[in-house]
Structure 1
Amino acid sequence: MNTRKSTPKLWHQTVQQAAQSIRLRVLTFVMHNGEGYLSQACSSAEMLATLYLKIMHLGPSIAPMIPPPYAGPPSATNTKYTNGAGYHGPQTPEYDRFIFSPSHYALVQYATLVETGRMDAAGLYQFNHDGSTVEMIGAEHSPGGEVTSGSLGQALSQAGGIAMARIRRGDTGKVWVFMSDGEFQEGQVWEAVQTLVHYKIDNIGIYVDVNGQQCDGLIETVMNTEPLAAKLRAFGARVFTVNGHNVRALAKPATYTPNGKPLFVLAQTDPCHSIPKLMERKPNLHYLRFKTDSERQEYQQILDRMLRSAKKTAK
């Protein structure tokens, strides 16, 4: 009989394990569908796990554990419409709000909701099915969604408006935003930054997945946005650059006292993290579609290894 007491996990170990489980769930569904957004999970899993499990103060989910079917656009006669923000809990003054910007990362967010107990794993099997809210490109009615977002950069502007309203109402809860670096090619993003700085909106924190990738390849060759940190500082923002796969480094900037400036955390990430096989496809990592049966088999072997590793970790 083993009488040794097990050592309780430290928070960063729990978050790191959740991040790897997020990748595992995404890879599982990429294999199930034969294609999908995989590199986004590789780069952002630690960031999202840290936001949900360590940084954000969210209330318990008030949404169904199994996402309901799409009930049509909201209207005076459509009382069945639901907004995806319910998965982040009630929108009361003391709780934080979370705005998810890159809607093509939707599967990563759904996997994160499952790993953090906000959505049932069975709900993932609705992914990309007709009539489902668990869409491949997330919308405001998708689990975890709240606003219309995507590559046009509207989410930061909307988050800024929410944050400003919360300051004026005296809410204690903050507003957190998750973005991708490619969005900084959009002028609206910089208008939003300028507005946040001008109005000294410091109850907002923006975490950016700086993976250097976009739909057509490398950001630096399509439309370079660097030096991103210097540009944001020139606008007057408070900026930290961290290792996007180090959960303790990710969490630290969120602990600092607000100083009248919006907070930007630029998380330097690897779009092939934990799945180095993806490096063979560089710089075309935006969407994975298997080219041959042998390539699919290689990714299946990677998935099998990750599953075995996850079982060992769980023991």
Structure 2
Amino acid sequence: MSLDAKTDTHSTWQKETQKIADNIRLRVLEHTLNNNGGYMSQACSSAELFAALYTKILNIGPSEAPMVPPPFLGVPANDNPHYQTGRGYNGPIQPDLDRFIFSPAHYALVLYTALIEVGRMSPEGLKQFNQDGSSVEMIGAEHSPGCELTNGSLAQAVSQAVGIALARRFKGDTGRVVVMMSDGEFHEGQVWEAVESMSFYKLDSMIVYVDVNGQCCDGKMCDVMDVEPLQSRLEAFGARVFSVDAHDLDALLAPSQVEPDGRPIFVLCYSNPTKGLDLLETRAPKLHYLRFTSEEERETYRLEYQKMLKERAN
């Protein structure tokens, strides 16, 4: 392939992936309007990350799951042969393919919309969101689309990912274990134990993308419990760390293409929790969950949604 052809191909990927990111924000806003609530700031901060993961970063196969998610089939048990996780939306488990581990369960709405935008789940599936008997949970669980681990208690998925990566090494797998987590999870000591373990075992097949939006349920991270400087702290634990702009697609992609050097990789994606929806800034510093306080406020956001729709059409 010529240099010009490569440039054109990369430019096409950038445009298509940015469109996916924009549509993730738009779809989450639509859902929030229709349901009088949603994790909007998480969509604003991580849309590019999810778009880049599913279009370029992850080496995964086609979805093995139904386009419309099945209902909740019960917990794992010997007498429940129909139990399944949501892993199938990320393709088959094969030695050469990546395993994607989704950690911040409250980002589930963003994950579902990402699956829709890349054609792995039907928009119809989102109608089941948070309904009784549905696997499309508000707080994602191991049976929810795109999930394969119980991660409702923040920080647990990172530890489980370490175990998966270590097991894959023993089996001789060449695929990576790619984790998406939030910066608030660094409030949990379990995360630091996981970093210590992945460094000790030299799990350079692991790459952890962190949405560093500086927010948690009680407000700004720096006011509640500051975890910075994350880069130097992670490096002190033996990790290989890249700090990037979470809304720069090339910057998100680059760390996934470096040669392994014996250290696990952390990509600190510094993001804007109101990216693409400036109106949300009026809620600062409490941005964790958007629930409208009046019909007037909802109408203000509806007008912004209609404006965004028109911009997409142009």
Q: Please indicate the TM-score interval, normalised by the length of the shorter structure.
A: over 0.9
1:296 alignment partner AA:
R
- Conserved 8 A contact 1:62-1:89: yes
Q: TM-score, normalised by structure 1?
A: 0.95
1:144 alignment partner AA:
G
- Alignment of 1:86 with 2:88, yes or no, is yes
Gaps of 5+ in 2: 1-8
Q: What displacement does 1:152 show?
A: 3.0
- Conserved 8 A contact 1:138-1:145: yes
Q: How far apart are the structure 1 equivalents of 2:298 and 2:196?
A: 46
User: How many residues in Structure 1 have an aligned counterpart in Structure 2?
Assistant: 307
Q: What displacement does 1:79 show?
A: 1.8
1:252 alignment partner AA:
A
For residues 89-117 of structure 1, the C-alpha deviation after alignment (integer angstroms, 9 at most, x for no partner) is 11111111000000000000000001111
Q: How far apart are the structure 1 equivalents of 2:175 and 2:304?
A: 41
- Residue 16 of structure 2, aligned match among 9, 14, 17: 14
Partner residue, 1:235? 237
- Alignment of 1:249 with 2:217, yes or no, is no
For residues 56-88 of structure 1, the C-alpha deviation after alignment (integer angstroms, 9 at most, x for no partner) is 011111111100000111211112212100100
Q: What displacement does 1:46 show?
A: 0.3
For residues 235-289 of structure 1, the C-alpha deviation after alignment (integer angstroms, 9 at most, x for no partner) is 1100000000001110011110010000000000000000011111111000111
Partner residue, 1:4? none
- Conserved 8 A contact 1:210-1:269: yes
Secondary structure of the residue that 2:266 maps to in structure 1? strand
Partner residue, 2:191? 189
Q: What displacement does 1:8 show?
A: 9.7
Q: What displacement does 1:308 show?
A: 1.6
- Alignment of 1:179 with 2:170, yes or no, is no
- Alignment of 1:199 with 2:228, yes or no, is no
Partner residue, 2:228? 226
- Conserved 8 A contact 1:50-1:250: yes
Q: What displacement does 1:150 show?
A: 3.4
Q: How far apart are the structure 2 equivalents of 1:126 and 1:152?
A: 24
Q: How far apart are the structure 2 equivalents of 1:150 and 1:213?
A: 18
Distance 1:151 1:270, change over 3 A: farther
Cα RMSD for the two superposed structures: 1.3
Q: Pairwise mapping of residues 269-288 of structure 1 onto structure 2 (< 5 A)?
A: 269-288=271-290
2:200 alignment partner AA:
H
Secondary structure of the residue that 2:311 maps to in structure 1? helix
Secondary structure of the residue that 1:205 maps to in structure 2? strand
Q: How far apart are the structure 1 equivalents of 2:235 and 2:11?
A: 37
- Fraction of identical pairs, as percent: 55
Q: TM-score, normalised by structure 2?
A: 0.96
For residues 8-42 of structure 1, the C-alpha deviation after alignment (integer angstroms, 9 at most, x for no partner) is 96111111110001111111100110111100000
Q: How far apart are the structure 2 equivalents of 1:69 and 1:311?
A: 35
- Conserved 8 A contact 2:36-2:292: yes
- Alignment of 1:63 with 2:45, yes or no, is no
Q: How far apart are the structure 2 equivalents of 1:50 and 1:210?
A: 16
* Worse-matched range after superposition: 270-279 or 147-156: 147-156
- Residue 45 of structure 2, aligned match among 35, 43, 46: 43
Partner residue, 1:293? 295
Q: Pairwise mapping of residues 125-204 of structure 1 onto structure 2 (< 5 A)?
A: 125-204=127-206
Q: How far apart are the structure 1 equivalents of 2:296 and 2:283?
A: 15
- Conserved 8 A contact 1:211-1:270: yes
Secondary structure of the residue that 2:15 maps to in structure 1? helix
- Conserved 8 A contact 2:46-2:246: yes
Secondary structure of the residue that 1:150 maps to in structure 2? coil
2:114 alignment partner AA:
T
